[in-house]
């Protein structure tokens, strides 16, 4: 289990694994952007496909959008298999069931090494909406070998077969589609969570969230860890709008003497996620929770460390979009050495790049600020009402 910070660490590891691939590569991502360093991953996929490696990529229809004709043609000529999860059209706006997105970031090469985290195929110094960034995004992934690799591979194959079945149906190949769906069902039993034991003091799990049998597993993993905490909870999360249970768990932890520290997004990125998070801060600050805002660049981390041994790295934010609608994947690790590495990096980010929120200053924020927060929260609640979800 190796912690990787940012695309500057992840992309070279991905490219090295892909260049060594002999049989197959599976890749899933929310955003695939070939600007800057993202092109290095794209080129590695093309090289692998050209030498006969079965290369399969799934991207989200909203996060990635349409590829440029040049890259689309290069992928096709090389033989890279490309699928889009929930392509964007008018149904996305009209049908709440189409609001579900593929937000997980996974890769498996030759069933030997896997990658899981929150990092898209997107250059750390480039943002599709804001352009060039002065500092890299703050985000993490893990490189994994061992039993979790097979679990990750199965998880990705199940989604691929589902997308293939949908594609076959659209092409009126009903018999082939039914065969694909039946194969997916028979192989997906028990394919939602796996525990892998390494050394005597190490365990790890791939924890998924989907809209079928794994609707709340990531949230429950957080709740169990927070409830068991005795000394310290550190959470870094990009879009932090926890529901009632998560808020109460953090409040109770702080009230029983656990030091709770949150490193959250301090830089405006999206209206709803930025402003809807602020009303939650009051209850947490009142309970003694320390909140730090990160502003040198966009904070996209979805990680946590509890009591110096439990840690999680993945794609899931602690907001209703991730916990109620999106497909997400987190690795949960119980290992002191791994947790210490992540903890040290988070504490350094809080100390050097975080601004601690002052409860008095928060309480005196302007009417305009409060109005924007109320509007964002109202929009989020209306969206939840339309989907029929409770949070």
Can you list the pairs that 32-35 forms with residues at least 24 positions away whose Cβ atoms lie under 8 Å? Answer: 32/57, 32/59, 32/64, 32/67, 32/120, 32/121, 32/122, 33/64, 33/120, 33/121, 33/122, 33/123, 33/126, 33/128, 34/67, 34/68, 34/71, 35/122, 35/123, 35/126
- Tell me if 102 sits within 8 A of 186, measured CB to CB: no
Give the pLDDT of residue 331: 97
Q: What percentage of the chain's residues is helix, strand, coil (to nearest 5)?
A: 45, 25, 30
- Tell me if 306 sits within 8 A of 235, measured CB to CB: no
Residues assigned a catalytic role: 103, 105, 110, 300, 302, 307
Fold classification of 193-387 is Endonuclease; Chain A (3.30.870)
Cα–Cα distance, 155 to 144 (Å, whole number):
15
Strand order in the sheet with 81-85: 2-5, 140-144, 113-117, 105-109, 24-29, 54-60, 81-85
Residue with tokens 């028979």: 186
- For residue 183, give the H/E element and its range: helix 174-188
Give the pLDDT of residue 187: 47
| Pairing of the two strands 81-85 and 54-60 | parallel
Cα–Cα distance, 391 to 374 (Å, whole number):
17
Question: Percent of the chain scored above 70 by pLDDT?
Answer: 90
Q: Report which of residues 10 and 94 the model is more confident about.
A: 10
pLDDT tens digit string along 178-227? 555 555 554 443 334 444 544 455 799 999 998 787 889 999 999 999 99
Cα–Cα distance, 306 to 338 (Å, whole number):
12
Distances (CA, A) of 133 to 266, 373, 390: 15, 26, 36
Give the pLDDT of residue 169: 62
pLDDT tens digit string along 292-308? 999 999 999 999 999 99
- For residue 74, give the H/E element and its range: helix 69-78
pLDDT tens digit string along 312-326? 999 999 999 999 999
Residue with tokens 């109320």: 374
| Residue among 238, 323, 221, 223 nearest 277 (CA) | 238
| pLDDT band per the 50, 70, 90 thresholds, residue 72 | very high
- Phi, psi (rounded to 5 degrees) for 137: -60, 150
Angle between helices 217-228 and 244-255 (to 10 degrees): 10
Query: CA 128, 133, 135: angle at the middle one, nearest 5?
Result: 140
pTM equals 0.91
Mean predicted confidence (pLDDT) in 112-126: 97
The sign of the CA dihedral 268, 273, 275, 277 is: negative
pLDDT tens digit string along 149-162? 999 999 999 999 88
Give the pLDDT of residue 192: 43
Computed over every residue of the chain, the mean pLDDT equals 91
Give the pLDDT of residue 183: 57
pLDDT tens digit string along 39-62? 999 999 999 999 999 999 999 999
Mean predicted confidence (pLDDT) in 114-138: 96
| pLDDT band per the 50, 70, 90 thresholds, residue 21 | very high
2-188 shares its CATH topology with 193-387: yes
Question: Percent of the chain scored above 90 by pLDDT?
Answer: 79
Give the pLDDT of residue 202: 72
- Tell me if 35 sits within 8 A of 126, measured CB to CB: yes
pLDDT tens digit string along 342-352? 999 999 999 99
Residue 28 clears pLDDT 80, i.e. is over it? yes
Q: Which of 150-154, 168-172, 338-342 has the lowest mean pLDDT?
A: 168-172
Instruction: Return the CATH class of domain 2-188.
Output: alpha beta
- Tell me how crowded residue 364 is: count the other CB atoms within 10 A of its CB: 9
Instruction: Give the start-to-end residue ranges of the domains of the chain.
Output: 2-188, 193-387
Q: Which DSSP state fits 357?
A: P
């Amino acid at each position: 289990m190796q912690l990787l910070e940012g695309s500057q660490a992840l992309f070279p590891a991905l490219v090295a694994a892909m260049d060594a691939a002999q049989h197959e590569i599976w890749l899933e991502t929310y955003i695939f952007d070939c600007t800057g360093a993202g092109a290095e991953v794209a080129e590695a996929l093309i090289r692998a496909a050209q030498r006969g490696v079965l290369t399969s990529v799934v991207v989200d229809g909203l996060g990635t959008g349409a590829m440029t004709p040049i890259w689309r043609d290069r992928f096709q000529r090389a033989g890279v298999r490309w699928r889009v999860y929930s392509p964007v059209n008018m149904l996305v706006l009209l049908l709440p069931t189409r609001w579900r997105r593929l937000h997980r970031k996974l890769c498996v090469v030759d069933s030997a090494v896997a990658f899981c985290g929150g990092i898209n195929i997107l250059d750390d110094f480039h943002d599709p909406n804001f352009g060039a960034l002065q500092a890299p995004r703050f985000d993490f992934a893990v490189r994994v070998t061992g039993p979790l690799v097979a679990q990750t591979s199965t998880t990705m194959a199940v989604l691929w077969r589902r997308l293939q079945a949908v594609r076959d149906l659209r092409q009126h190949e009903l018999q082939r589609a039914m065969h694909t769906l039946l194969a997916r069902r028979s192989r997906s039993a028990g394919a939602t969570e796996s525990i892998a034991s390494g050394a005597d003091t190490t365990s790890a799990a791939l924890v998924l969230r989907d809209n079928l049998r794994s609707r709340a597993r990531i949230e429950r993993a957080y709740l169990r860890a927070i409830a068991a905490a005795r000394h310290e909870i550190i959470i870094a999360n990009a879009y932090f709008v926890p529901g009632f249970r998560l808020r109460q768990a953090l409040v109770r932890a702080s009230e029983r003497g656990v030091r709770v520290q949150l490193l959250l997004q301090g830089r405006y990125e999206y209206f709803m996620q930025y402003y809807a998070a602020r009303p939650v801060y009051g209850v947490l600050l009142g309970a003694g929770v320390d909140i730090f805002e990160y502003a040198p660049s966009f904070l996209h981390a979805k990680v946590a460390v509890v009591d110096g041994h439990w840690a999680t790295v993945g794609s899931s934010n602690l907001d209703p979009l991730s916990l109620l609608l999106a497909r997400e994947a987190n690795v949960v690790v119980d290992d002191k050495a791994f947790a210490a590495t992540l903890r040290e990096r988070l504490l350094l980010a809080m100390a050097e790049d975080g601004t601690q929120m002052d409860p008095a200053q928060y309480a005196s924020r302007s009417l305009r600020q409060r109005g924007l927060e109320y509007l964002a929260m109202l929009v989020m609640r209306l969206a939840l009402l339309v989907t029929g979800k409770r949070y």
